[in-house]
């Protein structure tokens, strides 16, 4: 049975869900006439606005809960670049407290907690040339080179000592190729004969 999280007066979207005990967490965004688009986390249908800067467009992509800590990743627009494109910076919220985890153009798509380590899959720039990257406890590892055109990375999952990231890449003289990075090493999941992408990874 569907449950509405907003009144529906403006555009909104629920992007990620996480269940912890009896609590249901949903990450996404809600728009309103005064402030534009706001990153939102809903807990049991009760909304919390995450971005503390008014009139700044923001969005929450993923939520992950460990014990009593709630982690959310996303982005917020931060002005325009030299070409007039919107500049966004990657955000990590822990229990509502926000941290900017990128200097250049970036969007954080997924977060995973393993022990005391925080992993975030993100797209990082500048905006004209995007890279797939993995942020771990403040350190960014590029997964693609500066000449790659990428989609995502959309999901990160940690199993033991292995870190898996999923996304896509547009190769020269080819279509979009679904990709898996394991510990930073790329693997093509499709042959490029038709467009393909990958949105989520899970290891059992």
Predicted confidence (pLDDT) per residue in 119-175, tens digit: 999 988 766 667 889 999 999 998 987 667 777 789 999 999 999 999 988 877 678
CB 130 within 8 A of CB 87: no
Return the domain boundaries, the chain: 12-188
* CATH architecture observed for domain 12-188: 6 Propeller (2.120)
Q: Which of 190, 115, 113, 114 is nearest to 151 (CA)?
A: 190
CA gap 90, 106 in Å, rounded: 5
pLDDT score, position 6 = 73
pLDDT for 33 beyond 60:
no
CA gap 198, 171 in Å, rounded: 15
Which residues lie closer than 8 Å to 162 by C-beta, 6 or more apart?
182, 183, 203
Among all chains, which residue has been given the structure tokens 């510990």?
A: 183
pLDDT for 60 beyond 70:
yes
Predicted confidence (pLDDT) per residue in 179-198, tens digit: 999 999 999 999 988 999 89
Rounded to two decimals, the pTM is 0.89
Predicted confidence (pLDDT) per residue in 99-120, tens digit: 999 877 888 999 999 999 999 9
């Amino acid at each position: 049975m569907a449950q509405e999280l907003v009144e529906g007066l403006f555009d909104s979207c629920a992007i990620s869900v996480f269940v912890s005990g009896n609590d249901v967490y949903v990450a996404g965004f809600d728009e309103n006439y005064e402030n534009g688009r706001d990153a939102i986390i809903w807990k049991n249908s009760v909304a919390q606005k995450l971005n503390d800067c008014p009139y700044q467009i923001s969005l929450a992509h993923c939520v992950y809960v460990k014990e009593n800590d709630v982690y959310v990743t996303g982005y917020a627009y931060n002005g325009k670049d030299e070409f007039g494109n919107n500049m966004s910076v990657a955000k990590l919220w822990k229990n509502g407290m926000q941290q900017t985890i990128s200097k250049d153009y970036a969007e954080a798509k997924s977060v995973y907690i393993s022990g005391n380590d925080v992993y975030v899959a993100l797209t990082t720039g500048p905006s004209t040339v995007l890279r797939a990257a993995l942020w771990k406890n403040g350190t960014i590892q590029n997964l693609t080179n500066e000449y790659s055109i990428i989609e995502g990375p959309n999901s990160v999952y940690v199993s033991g000592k292995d870190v898996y990231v999923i996304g896509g890449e547009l190769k020269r003289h080819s279509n979009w190729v679904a990709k898996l990075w394991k510990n930073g090493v790329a693997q093509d999941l499709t042959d490029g004969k038709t467009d393909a992408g990958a949105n989520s990874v899970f290891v059992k």
